[in-house]
Amino acid sequence: MKIIGFAALAAMSAVACASPVSAQDATIERAPLDWYYVSYVNYNPDEREWVEEWQENYLIPAYKAAGMVPPKYYHMNTGRWEMIVINHMPGGPDMMSWAENPMAEKIDAELVKLVGSEEELAKMRKRYADAQTDWTGGLGHIDRNE
């Protein structure tokens, strides 16, 4: 199973935007939760160094330039997974149903600036997806009252 695309990750990662709320939803009290999408990933050993460079030199700077909190990357020393990637979802699970995501668009625009063109970004995204040998993920939260 391949990791979800950068646009989807971006949709789940940004911190600057609140979830859209309908008039009916405005009357519903929301629980004080911070939502995250957690990915567990293994990489092709030949691409591991490139993946880390991609994250450090492109993804993290693009998120920061877009005014958003970048994903956190945890390099694992034991267990089944090589890396855990944690993406903040400020709009909660609702973000997964958005038809358009302005946060993803900002991140994509910054990535294009960094790599030089949309075509080059598409190539790098494909390389990143192809570098992954195994992946799984899930949605979780932190209760701010605990």
Summarize the confidence of residues 58-77 as an average pLDDT: 96
26: confidence class by pLDDT, cuts 50, 70, 90: low
pLDDT at 108: 95
112: confidence class by pLDDT, cuts 50, 70, 90: very high
- Is 70 exceeded by the pLDDT of residue 19? no
Query: What is the spatial distance between Cα 84 and Cα 76, in angstroms, rounded to a whole number?
Result: 7
- Is 60 exceeded by the pLDDT of residue 17? no
Mean pLDDT of the chain: 85
pLDDT at 25: 60
In the chain, the largest separation of any two C-alpha atoms, in whole Å, equals: 52
114: confidence class by pLDDT, cuts 50, 70, 90: very high
Task: Kindly list the structural domains of the chain, giving each domain's residue range(s) and its CATH number in brackets, ordered by start.
Answer: 6-16+38-143 (3.30.70)
State both tokens at 8: 């989807």
Question: pLDDT tens across 94-107, in order?
Answer: 888 888 888 889 99
pLDDT at 119: 98
- Is 70 exceeded by the pLDDT of residue 61? yes
Q: Got the DSSP string for 63-89?
A: HHHTTSPPPEEEE-SSSS-SEEEEEEE
- By the 8 A CB rule, do 83 and 27 touch? no
The SS3 of residue 101 is: coil
The SS3 of residue 137 is: strand
SS3 sequence of 2-28: CCCCHHHHHHHHCCCCCCCCCCCHHHC
User: Which of 1-15, 38-52, 107-121 comes out lowest in average pLDDT?
Assistant: 1-15
